[in-house]
Amino acid sequence: MSSLKGILFSQFCTEGLNKLVEELQAKYKPKKGRRFNHDNITYEISRPVLKENLIEFAISSKIPQDELKNEKDMKSYFQDIKKLAGKEKNKAVSIEMENIVWGSRKDVEKERDYVKLVYHYPLDNLFDNEEIMKRFKEMSAGKIPQNLEKVASAFTPQGKLVLLMVQEKIQEIVRQHVEHLINANQQVRTTLKN
C-alpha cells in the first residue's frame, strides 16, 4: 500500500510531467498523446508510476528507420544511443529497443522501433529540505510563490512548498534526460551521415 507521501508526490509528478509534455509539444512539433517530433524523430514521455519509494518514468525516441539500410544498422544505431545514454550522470535503470506495431486504421499496420529508457528516482531526491526552508523564510518575509494557493493537497505552507518543488524537480530531471536523448540522436545521425 502506498504512503500518503508517495500518493501526493506521484500526483505532483504527474502534473509536472503533463506540463512538460505541453511545453515540449509547443516547442517542437506536437503529436498525439504524450509525444512530440523533433528533427523527424518522435519522442515520448510516459506517465510517472509510484513503485514503493520511487518514481519511475520512461522516455523513448523512434529509431529513424528510413535513414538506415537494414536491421544491422538499426541495431548499431540503438547500441550507439545506448552508449551515449550510459554517459548520463543519472543513468537509466533500463535501456531497451522496443518494436511497436500499430495502425492508424485497422487495415494498415506500421512497425516502428524505439529506444526506451526507464529511470527511477527516490521520492526523497525530488525535494531539498534546505531549499524548502529558504523558500519558507522568503515567504514569511512577504514573497509568496504565485502557485502556492493552488496546492490544496497540503495544509501547511512548508508542505505546499515541498509539493511545488517535487513538481519543479521532476520537470527539470525529465527535461534534462529528454535533451540528452535528443542530443544523442543528433550525434548518432551526424556520425551516420559522415
Q: What percent of the chain has pLDDT over 90?
A: 54
Query: 92-119 burial by CB neighbour count: b if 16+ within 10 A, else e?
Result: beebebeeeeeeeeeeeeeeebbbbbbb
- Can you give the residue ranges of every domain in the chain? 4-193
Per-residue confidence band for 157, with pLDDT thresholds at 50, 70 and 90? confident
The phi and psi torsions of 61 (rounded to 5 degrees) equal: -140, 145
- Residue 172 sits at the vertex; the CA angle it makes with 128 and 125, to the nearest 5 degrees, is 30
**pLDDT number for residue 153:** 66
pLDDT digits (tens, 9 = 90+) for 84-95: 998 998 999 999
pLDDT exceeds 90 at position 165: no
- What number is the average pLDDT over the span 134-150? 70
pLDDT digits (tens, 9 = 90+) for 38-92: 999 999 999 999 998 999 999 999 998 888 888 888 889 999 999 999 899 899 9
**pLDDT number for residue 43:** 96
Q: Is the dihedral of CA 182, 51, 31, 68 positive or negative?
A: positive
